[in-house]
Chain A
Amino acid sequence: MDQNKKENINLNPVGKSVPRIDGKGLVTGQTKFTYDMQLPNMLVGKMLRSPHPHARILNIDTSKAQKLPGVKAVITAKDTHMIKFGSNEYFFPHTVDQLALEDVKVRYIGDELGAVAAVDEETALKALELIDVEYEVLPPVFDPLEAMKPGAPSIHDHCRNNIGVILPVNMGNPDRALKEADYVREDVFYSQSAAHACMETHVCIGQWESFSNKITLWISHQAPFKVREALAKCLKMDLNDIRVIKMASGGGFGGKLEMLPMDFSSCLLSKKAGGFPVKMCYNREEEFCFSRRKHNMIYKLKSGVKKDGTIVAITGEVIADGGAYCSYGPTVLAAATMRIFIVYKIQHIRISGYRVYTNNPISGAIRGFGGVQSGFSIESHMDLLAEGIGMDPKDFRLKNITEPNMITANKMIISSNGLKECIVKAAEASDWDKKRGQCRHLARGIGMAIAADVMGSKMYKAHESAGSIIKMEEDGSVYLFTGAADTGQGSNTVLSQIAAHELGISFQRIRCKAADTEITPFDTGSFASRVTFISGNATLLAAKDAKEQILKVVSQEFKLDHDDLDIKAEKVINKKNQSIILSFDKALDLCYSFNYGRQIIGRGSYNPTTTPIDFRTGEGNVSGSYSFEAQIAEVEVNTDTGAIKLLNLWDAHDVGKAINPSSVESQIEGSLAMGIGYTFFEDLDMKNGRVVNPNFAKYKIPRSVHMPPLHTILIETNDPHGPFGAKGMGEAALLPTAAAIANAIDDAAGIRLKELPFTPEKVLKALKEKNENK
């Protein structure tokens, strides 16, 4: 192989900030995204959508559209098998509630009931106008509290009072425990809806191959194997009839984690059009209105503490606006109610979660699942509890946090836990002790919030395994095949680092082929911060297996015990005396020699050790390990204008081991940016079921001028279960940001904001109320 690749050191890459394996293609514009793809005879597909938030479909007449020159296919529910799809089908089969194309009812503005494919977009749009749909308009309901009332319009037949999911967390005896508290308080927090706003919108190209009855779908997605599974189920095909190819993907953040009707439709339209590929690509407005969104939530909390700061009990109620279909509703609700166990040692908890159907656009998974809304609510509440007993919020947290090697009240198994160190380090770096409570005369304040996160969660299957294959070519070049879907986070790079490090070879030797369901092993997808941990472990196993195969050949040839051998720095060595036996290249020559002819193909399959969750109580160990962090915000409040200036943001993060420190920092910084946006201005504004700010002019995204100095502190606790000790950390830094800022604003100005986002109007209103109450 190329001498440069071997000589370029990059040995032992774990722990080094090696540049992205796919970086050159991205900075030169050569990498092809699905959005960039053009295929011969490609048609343009468009969805037929309901203009009503709630209506019965009486009749659909597509005859005029079909006659329009240039139209190649028109489909409605009749062209489907009417099999429903969902996202939490394994644990919550009753939440599988959406059809590829609806046949009886539409439940939000934009609900899909048909699709067309034509030679160009103009013709496709004209064809949509020619489809006559007769509706019986039904009364809609948009407010989840209204939707829960008896007599409210019923959106789905299968549930009462529109409550699609109920998830209680129930441990100990909180009512009795509250009576023993020295201080009890109640708070209600409100979190708004928000959008993923990936730079690349939802896009796919479906192509049916008539001679083999096979479908290929090119797609921008986080979970291509889930796409394959849903297509197979709903189109009644075998898994190997369907090839899903994840192209370079312009962001996901949870928005590209499940099926949209357009994914099914592009395949069905291609079939009806005789095999021409059909591209469906959302424009920005469609992306804001018809993809998925964050659940807006009402979070009520009532908790009690002892004078010494011990939390004795927490009770609460969460009401989440689910919109028209269930999507990842159960997981979002679980994340909003159960994460508290990983953070705080509490024996008595009762939090009831309700996800309510409304005629709003569909709520679903978004980075952090429900942890952002609950993080804001619980961590704001914690500061108020500390204040109530006159305790420093840092000391209050240190008194109550979880520890290493413990089992929580709900039987979560925590191994490594750097939460205490995170709090201490963040406080040191931010000069907490000098600043807290000291700068109100300058309208400056500092606030803290903490969080913990899973790395993996069983969502749509009984298992959540990942597979990896390492294939070594005769010239010493290496392929890593992984099912993991890199949507920009850099998992192809990190997995290649893990493989190269374990194999003892240069990172440069590896090419990573990922997330093509026909070529790569299965992987559940990029979600729940699972890829470094779960797919990383699978890759580590594959590398160990490949190495073992090489060492067996060497031990046979040199008559050595293969347990004494290892590969380090591109050389096979004898561990006993550190002597070099032969180079990695020579060892591979030996494997592929006349005498041996052994192909080196390593395989790894990993499924984390977890226990089933009892969804009546919240008991069970959901993740193979857990990550932790502490965040501190420093703000300045302009008491004249209500503007908040974010001066600094510190994030101390227990990442287990940073496989690629630069990449880890980038994940944290990206999460903080999203957290800042959500705290101050991101707000998907819905009026009567319609998104009224579906563009970047009205829906504000954090831009460069919004970024304060970010200070990331990586804490390495070497997790016993993680690959080289690594943990997942793609989402956690977003969880505490809003609360850290809210707590800092309170420290700066003595006002408590309980409703996101913190606009200048809300700040001024709070300041006015404070002055009136003086």
Chain B
Amino acid sequence: MPNITISVNNQNYELNLNGEETLLEVLREHLHLTGTKSACHEAECGACTVLLNGKSVLACITLACDVAGQDITTIEGLAKGEDLHPIQDAFLEKGAVQCGFCMPGMILASKSLLDRNPEPSREEIKTALNGNICRCAGYTKIFEAVEHAAKKIKNQPPQQ
């Protein structure tokens, strides 16, 4: 019998959990939403960053049953059909992606930043992304992508 409802990307999932499962485990293994990655399982790499009520949290140290009924957004929930979110577009346009393994976490951490601070300085971007390791690309193009995304979002026509 399902004993918990988890809301991911505006969709409710009824699950039967024993209470020990992390959000990371539930997303990847129960819901097969493998866009969320993990490179350490101990809150050091940021690859498992998801949004909880719009704020970034680490899924590897979040218990799934603690977030029952709250709004969870994963990387799968960011694009609208074929239309990428402006942050995703910006990361591609600025060449900020190499292997891409850190990207889901990096992009969601960037979204969390831009939602609370639409025009961050370079230093504010560095601080906000300091929990997300990228081993390939040297970060500089990621900073440029976040700045570019901020401009794109600002220039977006208001949504109906």
Query: Chain A: residues with CB nearer than 8 A to chain B?
Result: 17, 19-20, 22-33, 35-36, 38, 197-201, 248-251, 253, 283-284, 487-490, 662-663, 665-666, 668-674, 695-697, 701-705, 707, 710
In whole angstroms, what is the CA distance A354 to B125 when docked? 46
Does B51 have its Cβ within 8 Å of any Cβ on chain A? no
Tell me whether B40 and A704 are in contact (CB under 8 A).
no
B135-151 CB contact bits vs A (8 Å, 1 = yes)?
11111111100000000
**How far, in whole Å, are A674 and B34 apart by their CA atoms in the complex?**
28
Known contacts A199-B37, A705-B126; A27/B103 CB under 8 A: yes
Evaluate contact between B99 and A251: CB separation under 8 angstroms. yes
- For the complex formed, measure the closest distance between the CB of B115 and the CB atoms of chain A, giving whole angstroms: 18
- Which residue of A is nearest B94, CB measured? A662
Residue contact B76 to A284, C-beta cutoff 8 Å: no
Contact B140 A488 (CB under 8 A): no
Q: Is A704 within 8 A of B129, CB to CB? A: yes
Near A by CB (< 8 A), chain B positions 70-97 give 74-76, 78-79, 84, 88, 91-97
A288 shortest CB reach to chain B, Å:
10
Question: What is the 8 Å Cβ interface bit string for chain B, positions 107-126, against chain A (1 contact, 0 not)?
Answer: 10000000000000000011
The minimal Cβ–Cβ distance linking B145 to chain A, given in whole angstroms, is 10
Docked CA distance A292–B74 (Å): 33
Q: Which of A20, A488, A666, A673 has its CB near the most chain B CB atoms (within 10 A)?
A: A666
B152 within 8 A of A: no
What are 8 inter-chain pairs, A to B, with CB distance below 8 A? A23-B92, A249-B99, A284-B41, A670-B135, A670-B138, A703-B133, A704-B127, A707-B140
Contact between chains at B138 and A669 (CB < 8 Å): yes
Question: By the criterion CB–CB under 8 Å, are B98 and A489 in contact?
Answer: yes
A662-B76 Cα distance, complex, nearest whole Å: 26
Query: Across the interface, do A696 and B100 meet the contact criterion of CB distance under 8 Å?
Result: no
Tell me which of A19, A671, A710 contacts B93 (CB under 8 A).
A19
Q: Is the pair A670, B97 in contact by a Cβ cutoff of 8 Å?
A: no
| Interchain nearest-CB distance for A115 vs B (Å) | 22
A17–B130 touching, CB < 8 Å: no
Contacts of A27 on B, CB cut-off 8 Å? 75, 84, 88, 91-92, 97, 100, 103, 107
Q: By the criterion CB–CB under 8 Å, are A29 and B36 in contact? A: yes
**Which 4 interchain pairs have the tightest Cβ spacing?**
A29-B35, A488-B99, A26-B100, A669-B138
Chain B residues within an 8 Å CB radius of A26: 97, 99-100, 103
Contacts of B13 in A (CB 8 A): none
Residues 60-75 of chain B: 1 if any A CB is under 8 Å from the residue's CB, otherwise 0? Answer: 0000000000000011
A707 x B126 contact (CB < 8 A) = yes
Q: How far is the CA of A22 from the CA of B99 in the complex (A)?
A: 10
Nearest to B44 among chain A residues (CB) is A696
Let me know if A704 and B136 touch, CB within 8 A: no
Residue with the greatest number of chain A CB neighbours at <10 A, chosen from B92, B97, B103, B125: B97
Taking the closest CB of chain A, its distance from the CB of B77, in whole angstroms, is 9
Task: For A672, list chain B residues within 8 Å (CB).
Answer: 138
CA–CA, A250 and B40, complex, Å: 13
Q: Report the Cα distance A35→B39, complex, angstroms.
A: 10
Q: Which residues of A contact B141 (CB under 8 A)?
A: 662, 665-666, 669
Q: Which secondary structure dominates where chain B touches chain A?
A: loop
Q: A250-B100, A704-B143 are in contact. Are A19 and B35 (CB under 8 A)?
A: no
Check if B97 sits within 8 Å of A23, measured CB to CB. yes
Contact B101–A20 (Cβ < 8 Å): no
Asked if B99 contacts A250 (CB within 8 A), the reply is yes
Assembly CA distance A674 to B92 (angstroms): 22
Given A29-B74, A197-B135, A250-B39, 15 more A-B residue pairs with CB atoms under 8 Å apart are A23-B100, A26-B100, A28-B88, A29-B103, A31-B100, A35-B37, A199-B136, A200-B37, A250-B37, A250-B100, A666-B98, A670-B138, A697-B44, A704-B126, A707-B138
Q: Which residues of A contact B136 (CB under 8 A)?
A: 199, 251, 488-489, 666, 670
Q: Which residues of A contact B40 (CB under 8 A)?
A: 284, 695-696
| B47 interface residue per 8 A CB criterion | yes
Question: Are B100 and A663 closer than 8 Å at their CB atoms?
Answer: no
Which listed residue (B95, B99, B125) contacts A665, Cβ 8 A? B95
Tell me the complex Cα distance, A91–B5, Å.
61
B23 contacts the other chain (CB 8 A): no
Q: Does B57 contact A (CB under 8 A)?
A: no
Once the chains bind, are B135 and A17 in contact (CB under 8 Å)? no
> Are A488 and B95 in contact, CB atoms less than 8 angstroms apart?
no
> Do A669 and B140 have beta carbons less than 8 Å apart?
yes
Q: Which residues of A contact B138 (CB under 8 A)?
A: 666, 668-673, 702, 707, 710
Task: List, in ascending order, chain A residues with CB within 8 A of B74's CB.
Answer: 29
Q: Which residues of B contact A31 (CB under 8 A)?
A: 100
CA distance A663 to B140 in the complex (A): 12
Closest CB of chain A to B46's CB: distance in Å? 9
**Complex formed: what's the CA distance from A358 to B50 in Å?**
43
Q: Report which of B32, B104, B126, B137 forms a contact with A669, defined as CB distance below 8 A.
A: B137
Q: Do residues B39 and A199 form an inter-chain contact, with CB atoms below 8 A?
A: yes
Q: In this assembly, does B45 line the interface, its C-beta being within 8 Å of a C-beta of chain A?
A: yes
**Closest residue of A by beta carbon distance from B108:** A29
Q: What is the distance, in angstroms, from B150's C-beta to the closest C-beta of chain A? A: 16
Between B32, B93, B138, B139, the greatest number of chain A beta carbons within 10 A of the residue's beta carbon is seen for B138
Chain A CB within 8 A of B20 CB: no
Contacts of A695 in B (CB 8 A): 40, 42, 44
Q: Tell me the complex Cα distance, A83–B121, Å.
A: 58
Q: A20-B97, A666-B141 are in contact. Are A28 and B133 (CB under 8 A)?
A: no
Task: Identify which of A28, A35, A674 contacts B75 (C-beta below 8 A).
Answer: A28
Q: Does B102 contact A (CB under 8 A)?
A: yes
- What's the Cα separation between A552 and B142 when bound, in Å? 47
A705–B130 CB distance below 8 A:
yes
CA distance A391 to B146 in the complex (A): 44
- For the complex, give the distance between the alpha carbons of A695 and B60 in Å: 15
Interface residues of B in 6-60 (CB under 8 A from A): 28, 32-37, 39-42, 44-45, 47
Output the least CB separation between B91 and chain A (Å): 5
Chain A hits for B97, CB < 8 A: 20, 23, 26-27
Which residues of A lie under 8 Å from residue B131 when comparing CB positions? 703
User: Which residues of A sit under 8 angstroms from B107, Cβ to Cβ?
Assistant: 27
**Contact A490:B36 (CB < 8 A) given known A28-B76, A29-B74, A705-B130:** no
Distance of A671 Cα from B138 Cα, bound (Å): 7
Which residues of chain A come closer than 8 Å to B133, judged between CB atoms? 199, 696, 701, 703
Q: Across the interface, which residues of A come within 8 angstroms of B93, CB to CB?
A: 19
Q: Nearest chain-A residue to B36 (Cβ)?
A: A29
Q: Which residues of B are found within 8 Å of A197, using beta-carbon distances?
A: 135
Q: Contact partner of B79 among A28, A489, A663, CB < 8 A?
A: A28
Bound: A248/B99 CA distance, A: 8
Determine the residue in chain B with the shortest Cβ distance to A196: B135
* B49–chain A nearest beta-carbon distance, Å: 12
Contact across chains for B142 and A704 when beta carbons are under 8 A apart: yes
Q: Smallest CB–CB gap between A3 and chain B, Å?
A: 16
Alpha-carbon gap, A29 to B105, bound state (A): 10
CB contact between A29 and one of B76, B98, B140 (< 8 Å): that residue: B76
Query: Given A28-B75, A488-B98, does the pair A201, B92 have CB atoms closer than 8 Å?
Result: no
Within the assembled complex, what's the spacing in Å between the Cα atoms of A696 and B60?
A: 14
Q: How far is the CA of A490 from the CA of B41 in the complex (A)?
A: 27
Q: Is the CB of A673 within 8 A of B139?
A: yes
Report yes or no: A696 in contact with B45, Cβ–Cβ below 8 A. Answer: yes
B101 touches A200 (CB 8 A): yes
CB distance from A693 to the nearest CB of B (A): 12
In chain B, what residue has the closest Cβ to A35?
A: B37
B45: chain A residues within 8 A (beta carbon): 199, 696
**Bound form: Cα–Cα A710–B32 in Å:** 39
Q: Which residues of B contact A705 (CB under 8 A)?
A: 126-127, 130
The chain A residue with its CB closest to the CB of B95 is: A662
B78: chain A residues within 8 A (beta carbon):
28
Q: Cβ of A251 and Cβ of B76 under 8 Å apart?
A: no
**Residues of chain A contacted by B140 (CB below 8 angstroms):** 669, 707, 710
The answer to whether B39 touches A284, judged by C-beta atoms less than 8 angstroms apart, is: yes
A20–B97 Cα distance when bound, in Å, is 8
Given contacts A662-B141, A704-B125, A710-B138, contact A30 B35 (CB under 8 A): yes
Q: How far is the CA of A284 from the CA of B91 in the complex (A)?
A: 27
